[in-house]
Structure 1
């Protein structure tokens, strides 16, 4: 049984060694393609983020126990405010503030409203090919959201921007290093798989080892590939 395992491993390494140039070529090609796409073809996408806090109305002083209940109530209200932020009225008015450069539907696709679980905080994010535009979008959506919330839900909590959107320094995608690493492993796996497929489909005998292995016959002699012509 040990001999069979040894033979299988020898076959495996023999096949890999026989087509090592193809494996290296395919792997390098995939890695280079991913690098070119990530660095020169795919445009970077930037993300800006603003956080909004929902609290009790100012001047509403209560005892400690009720204050805790207020916190729990406003945590639940955050979900309601999230739906207001996602509403068509907010996206339409935000699009108007941006000067019509984006439609309401386009704005909905590139903005995300996320309630922070267990807190009174709401996060509004926007993505764009331009970092400046991403900041402008978040600013427009955040201010419009606060205005609309006070209009449609005047009895709700006190809504304020906690952190304004900052100009993003690095894009969120493409993730260049990750893309190159994935391309390297995919290229390696694909080339190794192709190697074994080609080996399985190739029924010709090319070496003395093939004759010994498949026919069990001794090699009496070989004919060199390059024979000098006798005059």
Structure 2
């Protein structure tokens, strides 16, 4: 019985504050749409892949050791790529002929390096607010690193580019559908929270059970609510009867 009453109260609250919940959902959804389509700058991604593989020996054991060494060197390469020794050259080439120049740190922050476990291939991915800029940064970083790696690593020439980055005109962010869905869910949850908080904070007497069950008072009677038009009608009838008696 108690459970059914609680469920009735929940649905009653939802019906009572339905407009508030709907308004909150609509407003948050509209805000999500505005931020997604008009305020957030789209970001584009481009990737190039590099292979770390030195000339293999004819000895199988030596080959395996060389492969393992190359795989381990990728971790060093991942740290080295975004350092100034590489970024200085990349920034100089990327900024050539451009008025809005990017610093080394700005370019480095746009680059991420990933590789699969035990793989000799790793990817250089660049994100920017322009698809062609992203591709240029990825390709320029890979090319610069390939040229400088043998000097930096004392003659170890084992890096080759196996695929170049191409401009992808489909932005990777913002995720429009996801953002709108988040706006809908957030608005709905916000509306529900506000509705139930208002209901809990509402201390007005709603019915007789509130007095008897919640406050423990004794009910002496019930005064029915009379509509104003009924009061006016009764007043007119009473006046008419009095005039007739007079």
Q: TM-score, normalised by structure 2?
A: 0.84
Superposition CA RMSD, Å: 1.9
- 1:139-178 aligned at under 5 Å gives the runs 139-178=139-178
Partner of 1:199: 199
User: Once superposed, which parts of structure 1, at least 4 consecutive aligned residues long, lie more than 3 Å away?
Assistant: 216-220, 225-231
Aligned to 1:215, the other structure's residue is in SS state: helix
- 1:93-108 aligned at under 5 Å gives the runs 93-99=89-95, 101-108=101-108
Distance in 2, Cα, partners of 1:109 & 1:12: 50
- 1:85 pairs with 2:88: no
Aligned to 2:48, the other structure's residue is in SS state: strand
Paired residues in the alignment total 223
Q: Report the alpha carbon displacement of residue 124 of structure 1 after superposing the two structures with TM.
A: 0.8
Partner of 1:224: 227
- Report if the CA contact (8 A) 1:74-1:157 is conserved: no
Larger Rg: 2
Partner of 2:48: 50
Distance in 2, Cα, partners of 1:175 & 1:70: 42
Q: Report the alpha carbon displacement of residue 131 of structure 1 after superposing the two structures with TM.
A: 0.3
Q: Report the alpha carbon displacement of residue 81 of structure 1 after superposing the two structures with TM.
A: 1.7
- Report if the CA contact (8 A) 1:86-1:113 is conserved: no
- 1:21-32 aligned at under 5 Å gives the runs 21-32=19-30
- 1:138 pairs with 2:138: yes
- Report if the CA contact (8 A) 1:86-1:108 is conserved: yes
Which consecutive residues of structure 1, in runs of 5 or more, have no partner in the other structure? none
Distance in 1, Cα, partners of 2:11 & 2:228: 25
- 1:177-188 aligned at under 5 Å gives the runs 177-188=177-188
Aligned to 2:207, the other structure's residue is in SS state: helix
